[in-house]
Structure 1
Amino acid sequence: MTACDVSEDMLHQADRKPLASHVRFFVADMRHLPDVGTFDVVTCIDDAVNHLLTAEDVRLAFRSVRRLLKPGGLYLFDVNTITTYRTFWSQTAVSDCGDAFFARVGRTPPDIPRGGEAQFTLECFRHNRSQWDRSSVDLRQRHYDEDTIRRLLSQSGLTPVASAGLHESGTVDRHINEDWHTKAIHIARATD
């Protein structure tokens, strides 16, 4: 098994997990994956594709994955739906995690159009002895609907073979409805 992330810190976290000794880790941008072998399956889970803010960047990522797939290999990934951006990304919420708490400040208009750019700020407050340390990160994503994803896959040498909609509850439907589902799951096959 091989794992990739653009963040070296995230890979250090992953390397501490059980069974990490069976995984080869490398740092790379998904738009420019290095030659690390060919694979039967490549996954890209938890809306990483949405962090790519242009269709050209998504196309580059899909082509990069295609180059690493064996003929007939599968690419499985997910993207956020417009419902996620109109709810989760437009609302503010606080989570208490014991010695830390997080504030997610939605900065996306609740009427964001399909294909629009979304953003929120994540604030982390961690208790450190006698004081609270604060860190903050601004996140930006773009919405990509099913038709756009299918077109970009086809332009990248990948054939869309299945799509499914994921509800917040974890239930999966064999179709995608942007108004019901929080994520869209896609499977594509490497064109021979």
Structure 2
Amino acid sequence: MSPHPIRPIGLRRGSDGADGGRAVFRSADTATAAKGSGDDRTTCRRSRRDLHRLPAVGAVGCDLPPAMLDHARAKPHADQVRFEEADLRHLPDWGEFDVICAVTNPMDHLLTDEDFASALHGIVRSLAPDGVFLFDQLSERAHHRSVRHPAVRESDGQFLTCRTWQHTLPTEPEPVFTRRMDRFVRHSPGQWHRIAHQNTFRARSETSVRRLLTRAHLDCVAVHPVSRLRQGGQRDRSDEGVLFVARHQPRQGRHS
């Protein structure tokens, strides 16, 4: 198992009523996915405004750090969500869902194929037949760009530095990147407080992802480039990430 902390996903589960919609989302960023049973369309929105949809769909949200759960509970309309603490590698059995969505690249934090397969096992167990799993990952090109261009930003009396470096794992062929972010907050003249965050990512190729999905009985039906949303609403760099869409193809006899 990877020693690094794993950023988990969150789950949305719909009612058992007429709409029948169920969905899954990562609660910390309110990135959402919803599938309507009537028109069989899947939509993905990365906006906290989507929380207003929850009364019609119903939701269970999960994350790993308690502080992130508290942050999610404080958002508008969060009273429509039941939040649970869970690890992406060991998802509890919460029943079946039509859609599972893991965005803001939590799957990148699964450094070994064993961890990735463990996460997929719980996701497949939670998906209804023909259910959809959506997730994104940063591209290797985006990681290399971060290595070449360390960032320093100033905002509201705070300084933020971001550095990325590449290394390898003895048992894994694909590159691994570690990103460290340091936030310096001024408390008084001449006195600063530093808050550090460090995360490690594995840059899996599309071929590797497809192979792991197939082994988990997930059919990769679409792969889309993902761009970043800059301040002012402008999008930049379509090579920033990749969105995968996979459909559950259950083995015969798993469902009656």
* TM-score normalised per structure 1: 0.87
Alpha carbons of 1:83 and 1:128: their partners in 2 closer, same or farther (altered >3 Å)? same
CA RMSD of aligned residues (A): 1.9
* 2:102 aligned with 1:55: no
Q: Could you list the per-position Cα deviations for residues 153-174 of structure 1 after superposition, in whole angstroms to 9, with x for gaps in the alignment?
A: 11112111111112346479xx
In structure 2, what is the equivalent of residue 120 of structure 1?
179
* Contact 2:120–2:213 (8 Å) recurs in 1: yes
In structure 1, what is the equivalent of residue 244 of structure 2?
186
Task: Tell me how far apart the structure 1 counterparts of residues 148 and 66 of structure 2 sit (CA, whole Å).
Answer: 29
Give the fraction of aligned pairs with identical amino acids, expressed as a percent: 30
* Contact 1:168–1:181 (8 Å) recurs in 2: no
Q: How many residues align?
A: 181
Q: Could you list the per-position Cα deviations for residues 131-165 of structure 1 after superposition, in whole angstroms to 9, with x for gaps in the alignment?
A: 31112122211001111111101111211111111
Structure 1 counterpart SS, 2:161: strand
Structure 1 counterpart SS, 2:111: coil
* Contact 1:63–1:157 (8 Å) recurs in 2: no
Alpha carbons of 1:27 and 1:163: their partners in 2 closer, same or farther (altered >3 Å)? same
AA paired with 2:195? S
Deviation at 1:25, TM superposition (A): 1.0
* Contact 1:90–1:108 (8 Å) recurs in 2: no
* TM-score normalised per structure 2: 0.66
Which of 21, 30, 36 is equivalent to 2:94?
Answer: 36
* 2:77 aligned with 1:19: yes
Structure 2 counterpart SS, 1:101: strand
Q: Which has the larger radius of gyration?
A: 2
Query: Whose relative contact order is higher, 1 or 2, with alpha carbons under 8 Å and at least 6 apart?
Result: 1
Deviation at 1:127, TM superposition (A): 2.1
Q: Where do 5+ consecutive residues of structure 1 fail to align?
A: 173-179
Q: Where do 5+ consecutive residues of structure 2 fail to align?
A: 1-58, 168-172, 230-234, 251-256
Deviation at 1:11, TM superposition (A): 1.0
Task: Tell me how far apart the structure 2 counterparts of residues 150 and 20 of structure 1 sit (CA, whole Å).
Answer: 34
Runs of 4+ in 1 over 3 A off after TM superposition: 167-172
* 2:235 aligned with 1:145: no
